Amino acid sequence: MVENAEKKVRALIAHPRFADGRAADADYDLEEAIGLAEALGVEPITARIIAIRDIRSSNFFGSGQVEEMAENIASEALSLVIVNGALSPVQQRNLERTLKVKVIDRTGLILEIFGVRAATKEGRLQVELARMAYERSRLVRTWTHLERQRGGTGGLAGPGETQIESDRRALDEKTGRLKRKLDHVRRTRGLQRKARQRAPERVVALVGYTNAGKSTLFNRLTTGGVLAKDMLFATLDTTHRVLPLPSGQKAVLSDTVGFISDLPTSLITAFRATLEEVKEADLLIHVRDLSDPLAERRKNEVMEVLEQIEAGPKYGQPIIEVWNKIDLLDEQGSIHLAERAAAARTDADKIDAFEISCLTMQGVEALQNGMEEALTRDDHILDIRVTPAEFSARAWLHQNGQVLSEETGDDGVADMKVRLSESDAGKFLAKHKALIV
């Protein structure tokens, strides 16, 4: 956001640690928050974990803690406080008043990053919509707060209420307008997607926590050209490239926005359209950074998001796990990992796991074979004889299947060997069973 190092906004990052949180996790959480701040282009000058026994409704933090923050802000000349948690609008406002600097919470921070990073029209509209959803949810919270203040009489009227109601109406109107614009942009893109679906190519989608290495892998597997960077949310817009498979077949690979913990559902919903692509893919590749100490937690978070959008194994969609960045593990760690990968493959829930390094390319070939295997596992290879009169069936086969061989006799009758996906084979058999040799 700010290019010039001297002009960078100097920030205090505060990670609230609750009594039930693990101490070690808090360190990593704080590190992630620093990464997010850097992704926004601000300079994290001070970063600290603040123990919270119970959340204060007025300031979130205790008064002693706020005082310490104020001192820190003064001595370091800071102008931004990032709270790596969820603040109510009242808490945010009170903190800003007391500290006399801008205060944002985790969702606010992520929204800011998305706002700066969104490059396409659709991306920008999605972020705008997400921001509306965020603001609306905060209005609701203020509303409950006001009700509580009045002792929950439930009575109507009062200046605050009217204001909130009109704010809410204004937001809803704006949201409606945005949605219509977004629909328009998407219809165009939907058409493009349909065009892709008509092609026999299958679609493989990369998913995973932000910074896991999705774009790096994307570039390794295709002709590349996507920004891969040690920065959270480097990718916001979906990109597609041809994915060559070892046998010479082709698929389409898509790179998507990364996931992150504690995203409110409203934000996930705003990115639903991007995630639609994930849902419609023939195969998901879950890229995981195995050098991340929180790898297991991240995995569960990604799986939760997938479930929320009704994608993944629970919805019959095959998934392969890529255990990336193994070059960063020591020898002991690598041996342990190889054992786990082997165990996972024979496990009850049979996870296809491939250990790779996008840096050294170790394991990438095995992954490519694994992807092809997963994509063609349920394929049918049919021997078909078509007469010239059935030219439409022949055209359909060319469009939807992979024609492995085709010989046409003098009488114009063609003998074909065609590879079809399970569903296409079903469709073909339902209509043209008589053509099967």
Ligand X SMILES: Nc1nc2c(ncn2[C@@H]2O[C@H](COP(=O)(O)OP(=O)(O)OP(=O)(O)O)[C@@H](O)[C@H]2O)c(=O)[nH]1
Nearest to 34, CA basis, from 17, 48, 52, 23? 48
In whole angstroms, what is the distance from residue 11 CA to residue 77 CA? 9
Under the binding rule (CB under 6 A), the answer on residue 210 touching ligand X is yes
Nearest to 321, CA basis, from 360, 298, 278, 354? 354
Residue 326 assigned ligand-binding role: yes
Amino acid in the structure at residue 366: A
In whole angstroms, what is the distance from residue 8 CA to residue 74 CA? 17
Name the binder of 325 from Mg ion, ligand X, none, CB < 5-8 A by kind. Answer: ligand X
Q: Which of 325, 371, 386, 416 binds ligand X (CB under 6 A)?
A: 325
Residue 325 assigned ligand-binding role: yes
Pick out residues in 158-177 that bind ligand X (CB under 6 A). none
Q: How far is CA 18 from CA 22, 53, 61, 102, 367, in A?
A: 9, 6, 11, 24, 40
3-class SS of residue 387: coil
Residue 212 assigned ligand-binding role: yes
If the CB atoms of residues 61 and 114 are measured against ligand X, the closer one turns out to be 114
3-class SS of residue 236: coil
If the CB atoms of residues 182 and 234 are measured against Mg ion, the closer one turns out to be 234
3-class SS of residue 369: helix
If the CB atoms of residues 69 and 232 are measured against Mg ion, the closer one turns out to be 232
Q: Residues 180-219 vs Mg ion: string with x where CB under 5 A?
A: ----------------------------------xx----
Q: What is the DSSP string of 239-270?
A: EEEEEE-TTS-EEEEEE-PPB-TT--HHHHHH
Q: How far is CA 178 from CA 125, 168, 395, in A?
A: 7, 15, 41
Residue 215 assigned ligand-binding role: yes
Pull the structure tokens for residue 104.
């944002």
Contact window for ligand X (CB under 6 A) among 121-129, 213-221, 300-308, 342-350:
213-221
Q: How far is the CB of 330 from ligand X (least distance, A)?
A: 13
Pick out residues in 220-279 that bind Mg ion (CB under 5 A). 234-235
Pull the structure tokens for residue 360.
């050294």
Q: How far is the CB of 215 from Mg ion (least distance, A)?
A: 3
Q: How far is the CB of 73 from ligand X (least distance, A)?
A: 30
Under the binding rule (CB under 6 A), the answer on residue 323 touching ligand X is no
Contact indicator for 240, 217 with CB cutoff of 8 Å: no
Q: Which of 317, 357, 400, 402 binds ligand X (CB under 6 A)?
A: 357
Under the binding rule (CB under 6 A), the answer on residue 324 touching ligand X is yes
Q: List, as residue ranges, the binding site for Mg(2+).
A: 215, 235
Q: Show binding-site residues for GTP.
A: 208-215, 233-237, 255-258, 324-327, 357-359
Rule CB under 6 A: which residues touch ligand X?
A: 208, 210-216, 228-230, 232-235, 258, 324-325, 327-328, 357-359
